[in-house]
Amino acid sequence: MSRICFFDTKPYDKIYFDMFKDKFGFEIDYFEPKLNADTAIMARGYEVVVAFVNDTIDAKTIDILYNEGVRLIAMRCAGYNNIDFKAAYGKIHVVRVPAYSPYAVAEHAMALLLTLNRKIHRAYNRTKEHNFSLNGLTGFDLYGKTIGVIGTGKIGRVFIDICKGFGMKVLAYDPYPVKDVGIHYVDLDELCRESDIISLHCPLTKETKHMIKKETIQQMKKGIYIINTSRGALIDSEALLNAIKEEQVGGAVLDVYEEETEFFYEDLSGEIIKDDILSGLISMPNVIVTSHQAFLTREALNKIAEITLQNIKEYFSNAGLANEICYQCIKLSNCEKTDKNRCF
């Protein structure tokens, strides 16, 4: 039986991976710390590590993992902006779970929008205190409003369908538009100018980092709502906080935050949060922050566990790696795979 090690373990990870480990014939050693250059040494003696979105898989971490004998990093997520692929290339294969449930993320985005707009977060607290006043809880009909969707991949398209179900007008921007699916594409400037609500569904890359910044926010309608369930650094958080204070932005719902690695997934309820921007955002009545939980449904956790372990099985059985990704796959989309269908 092959042994693999698992970083940044939470109780719900264990439940779903334990359900599948016998089927694939693995022993899993679960570690609580996040994977980074300080903890990578824990992987000594393992050929495979399972990692997640807030692990720091930079050149230093990769060097240590490689020297300790690791040859496969199995990401149990779709995103991969936390990996230095150039450092890994030729040394450690990287696989991921490209799709597990676009519905989980898209539905969470809509849940956040409905909560923000109809002030459910405030109403919940009020009625718990037997405060049945409605003052300050006025929302607006989503029906007939214009929503701008940035990124029309798997999640963006499910989100668009949900919005259409609400009778919203959808504008979309994607440098690689999908043909014949009835999506009305416009350029990013028009989307920013015309939308009442904007939702981000594109990956974090060098090009998309801070795509929502002071200048873009200034182009938007006063009172715009912004939804981010993609990656925190798509938004310049300081510019967002300022725009909320200035009431240019009418509300923001954030499942991700650019400096989330230090905070998200941990219970820090007794601690001082030394990040004034995060604290500032959380303190606003019209900002809702969830802790990168959009993926967290039973269906998604099932698929994540099954596909991750399938990816690892392919590695151990010397088969092609269907879900491998390297810097060439990302940059050029024309990685010349080996005869074995591996990136190197």
> Contact positions toward ligand NAD, by CB under 6 A?
78-79, 99, 102, 105, 150-156, 173-176, 201-204, 207-208, 229-231, 255-256, 292, 294-295
> Toward ligand NAD, which CB reaches closer, 64 or 311?
311
Q: What element of type H or E holds 147?
A: strand 146-150
CB of 124 to ligand NAD, least distance (A): 22
Q: What does residue 9 show for φ and ψ, rounded to 5 degrees?
A: -75, 135
Catalytic residue among 108, 292, 324, 342: 292
- Cα 237 to Cα 278: distance, rounded to the nearest angstrom: 8
**Separation between Cα atoms, residue 183 and residue 173, nearest integer Å:** 10
| Closest separation in Å from C-beta 256 to ligand NAD | 6
Q: State which residue, 64 or 211, has the beta carbon closest to ligand NAD.
A: 211
> What minimum distance in Å lies between the beta carbon of 174 and ligand NAD?
4
Check if 93 is active-site: no
User: Are 212 and 240 a contacting pair, CB within 8 Å?
Assistant: yes
Could you tell me which of 210, 190, 193, 194 has the C-alpha nearest to residue 202?
Answer: 210
Q: Using CA of residue 280, residue 286, residue 287, residue 288, what is the dihedral sign?
A: positive
Return the number of the residue (8 or 47) whose C-beta is nearest ligand NAD.
8
- For the purposes of burial, counting CB atoms within 10 Å of the CB of 207, is it exposed (0-12), middle (13-18) or buried (19 or more)? exposed
For residue 154, the minimal CB distance to ligand NAD (Å) is 4
Residue 192: CB minimum distance to ligand NAD, A: 12
Around Cβ 271, how many Cβ atoms within 10 Å?
9
Q: Give Rg (Cα) of the chain.
A: 21
- H or E element in which residue 315 lies: helix 298-316
Active-site position among 231, 258, 324, 342: 231
Catalytic residue status for 108: no
Could you tell me the smallest distance in angstroms from the CB atom of residue 301 to ligand NAD?
Answer: 11
Which of 117, 230 has the CB closer to ligand NAD? 230
266 is catalytic: no
Q: Reduced to 3 states, what is the DSSP secondary structure of residue 194?
A: helix
User: Distance between alpha carbon 161 and the CA centroid of its chain, in Å?
Assistant: 20
Of 65 and 287, which CB lies nearer to ligand NAD in the complex structure?
A: 287
Judged by CB, which is closer to ligand NAD: 43, or 158? 158
Residue number, nearest CB to ligand NAD? 153
Query: Nearest 5 degrees, angle CA 226-CA 231-CA 235?
Result: 50
Q: Rounded to whole angstroms, how far apart are CA atoms 197 and 172? A: 12
Select which of 96, 157, 258, 260 is catalytic: 260
Phi–psi pair at 46, nearest 5 degrees: -105, 140
Which 3 state secondary structure label does DSSP give 93? strand
Residues catalogued as catalytic: 231, 260, 292
